[in-house]
Amino acid sequence: MTPVQRQALIAQYEAGYAEVAAALEGFPAGHLTTRAIPGKWTAAEIVHHLADSECQSATRLRKLLAEEHPVIQGYDQDRWAETLGYNERPIEPSLALFRAARESTAQLLGRMTEDEWRHLGWHSDAGAYHAERWLEIYAAHAHGHAEQIRRLRAALGA
């Protein structure tokens, strides 16, 4: 990955919260837990997932930066959604957590050296893992979920 490509991904990562917030604008509050598309998450599930995922991703990057031989543990996101009551809790705290974790992590990205971007760790599900791979995944993550929210809103006719 070139520095120019990396900067574009960092900018995309930094814009992720705003993209999700924009997708939620005008979403009918009474339908946040409506499963408008069979087999897909609700808007509430997406927001809680983003908060939990962002906390995990923040920890992953910090492990890659601060540990000599970092091990990144995978998790079952569908089980988290089910057992952590994603459709039973208000989304506002999770939306704030998503924003704060992302903003805090974005502060680290511009400080990283070339060696830090390529420092190798091990992911329990994916194997060899480094910060450039982390950035490729998380730069697009929020944007993909923002698009899901937009599709849900369209399915609801809102």
Q: What is the pLDDT of residue 1?
A: 86
Q: What is the pLDDT of residue 151?
A: 94
Q: pLDDT under 50 in the chain at which residues?
A: none
Share of the chain above pLDDT 90, in %: 87
User: What's the Rg (C-alpha) of the chain?
Assistant: 16
Q: What is the pLDDT of residue 8?
A: 97
Q: What is the pLDDT of residue 158?
A: 66
Q: What is the per-residue pLDDT across 90-114, written as a single tens digit (0 to 9) for each? A: 999 999 999 999 999 999 999 999 9
Q: What is the pLDDT of residue 43?
A: 96
From the list 142, 121, 149, the residue with the least C-alpha distance to 133 is 121
Q: What is the CATH number of domain 3-155?
A: 1.20.120.450
CA distances from 103 to 36, 57, 74 (A): 31, 12, 22
pTM reported for the whole predicted model: 0.93
Would you say 39 and 78 are in contact if contact means Cβ atoms under 8 Å apart?
no
**What does the domain layout of the chain look like in residue ranges?**
3-155
Q: What is the pLDDT of residue 155?
A: 92
